[in-house]
Amino acid sequence: MKKFYLMTATAVFLLLSISNGILGQTVTANLDQPKLMLQFLGKWQANVGKDTVEVWDCQMYGKAYASNVVQVTKGIKTPVYTNNISYGPKEGKFRGFQLTFDGGYGTWLGSFTSEKKLEGIMVQNFNPEPVYGKFEIIFKNLNEFTYYIYNTQGVKTSELKYVKVK
């Protein structure tokens, strides 16, 4: 009889665990990823140093997204990078290509895990391994978000608060 109760308890535990896992995956899968990316459209800025702000100018590019990033120090604009982003419905992920002003580049993969949180990994040539870092962008509201960058050990290396300026 004890074996029966133990097996029943184990089966119920496994069924509850599996159903909770499926529920979590379903919620994420039901997010309209391209629609959520629209939150970024417009101009955003963050203080990144003494007398320096970083400005993201985010626009639609057909069905894709593009953002030009500059830093402004004492009124002088310096281009930093452009970020071109497309969405792959098959994978359910965004692919970003950052072209830096000095000719370098970086790639990233990411998706919204909630209506207000975009999570991604920094990778080489869109290959998901190895991961060179991670990021999160969390919207506080329609006019503010915080951008976090983490190294490969999960240690936060940067935190910038952006506000919408246009």
User: Which range (23-27, 44-48, 148-152) has the least confidence?
Assistant: 23-27
What pLDDT shows up at residue 17?
A: 33
pLDDT band at 8 (very low <50, low <70, confident <90, very high): very low
What's the mean pLDDT in 157-163?
97
For the chain, give the mean pLDDT.
Answer: 85
Q: Which contacts (CB < 8 Å, 24+ apart) does range 106-115 have?
A: 108/135, 110/135, 111/28, 111/31, 111/33, 112/31, 112/33, 112/36, 112/37, 113/28, 113/31, 114/31, 115/31, 115/36
Give yes or no for residue 26 having a pLDDT over 90: no
What pLDDT shows up at residue 2?
A: 38
Give the integer Cα–Cα distance in Å for 57 and 44: 7
Give yes or no for residue 7 having a pLDDT over 50: no
pLDDT band at 28 (very low <50, low <70, confident <90, very high): low
Higher pLDDT, 19 or 165: 165
Q: How many CB atoms lie within 10 A of CB 62?
A: 7
What pLDDT shows up at residue 4?
A: 33
Q: How many CB atoms lie within 10 A of CB 109?
A: 19
Q: How many CB atoms lie within 10 A of CB 56?
A: 20
Bridging pattern class, strands 64-73 and 52-61: antiparallel
For the stretch 117-150, pLDDT in tens is: 999 999 999 998 999 999 999 999 999 999 999 9
**What percent of the chain has a predicted confidence (pLDDT) above 70?**
83
What's the mean pLDDT in 94-105?
95
**What percent of the chain has a predicted confidence (pLDDT) above 90?**
80
What pLDDT shows up at residue 30?
A: 86
20's CB contacts (< 8 A; 6+ apart) are none
